[in-house]
Structure 1
């Protein structure tokens, strides 16, 4: 069994679920401009802005997880909840919600069975400190392979 790459709730990204091969992170800060008369603009720092993570990966259902795992991620997305994300090294990365799940199926065998499914998952940091919008952990269990 390989080590997990990351976990979102109880959904653990790994070879048997949804292994990703690339992770991109974009972190922004919020600034407000003020335009004083007779001078150039000044700026006031307002705090953290959007923080997004994009995971790109490929499923090969004969070797890795399959479409059911992408369906689980879509169900988590549709719940409208945020999930605790933990890195593969055990670092708590905070609460995140699933912004989008994209997939491209190819290399078909038989009646519409894709042998290769490329996916992109976009996650956005959820800054609210309350636990009202936190997902139920049992709703994030990946499908058994």
Structure 2
């Protein structure tokens, strides 16, 4: 009889040693786009001939909202920026232990919402783009 993995509601996903969770960064949306390459050669009077050339890009976009009063911390966003600054890649593992592959951080979009006195944001929106770099 198969046993189900122990799942922590606070552990959503990991990128290397960084844990996405309620106390760091809880993401609200994850999109993954996987593509495959097909090389084409033009032919006279016919459609191009094509040949499967292997896997293409594998892109993951993670988006969410950090509201320190509720969940997450601004320091976690800073940690992800530090990770991106290294140019390294890390294994991306979902909350059930499935290894999706090795990814690097390609881009991050940040936005402040609910600006309070002194210009401090009540929350910070983020969108992070990851690109798979392993075979």
TM-score w.r.t. the length of structure 1 is 0.83
Unaligned runs of 5+ in 1: 129-145
**Corresponding residue of 1:5:** 12
- In terms of fraction of residues, the more strand-rich structure is 2
CA distance in 1, matches of 2:83, 2:130: 12
Q: How many residues are treated as equivalent by the alignment?
A: 128
Q: Secondary structure at the match of 1:81?
A: coil
CA-to-aligned-CA distance 1:14-49 (integer Å, 9 cap, x gap): 111110111111111111111133432111111010
**CA shift at 1:3, angstroms?**
3.1
- Residue 36, structure 1, aligned to residue 43, structure 2: yes
Match of 1:68 among 72, 75, 95: 75
- Deviating above 3 A after TM superposition, structure 1's stretches of 4 or more consecutive aligned residues are none
SS of alignment partner, residue 10 of structure 2: coil
Q: Which has the higher contact order (CA 8 A, sep 6+)?
A: 1
What is residue 24 of structure 1 aligned with on the other side? 31
**What's 1:139 paired with?**
none
User: Residues of 2 paired with 1:112 and 1:68: CA distance?
Assistant: 18
Which residues of 2 match residues 30-109 of structure 1 at below 5 A?
A: 30-109=37-116
TM-score, structure 2 normalization: 0.88
> Contact 2:29 / 2:63 at 8 angstroms: preserved in 1?
yes
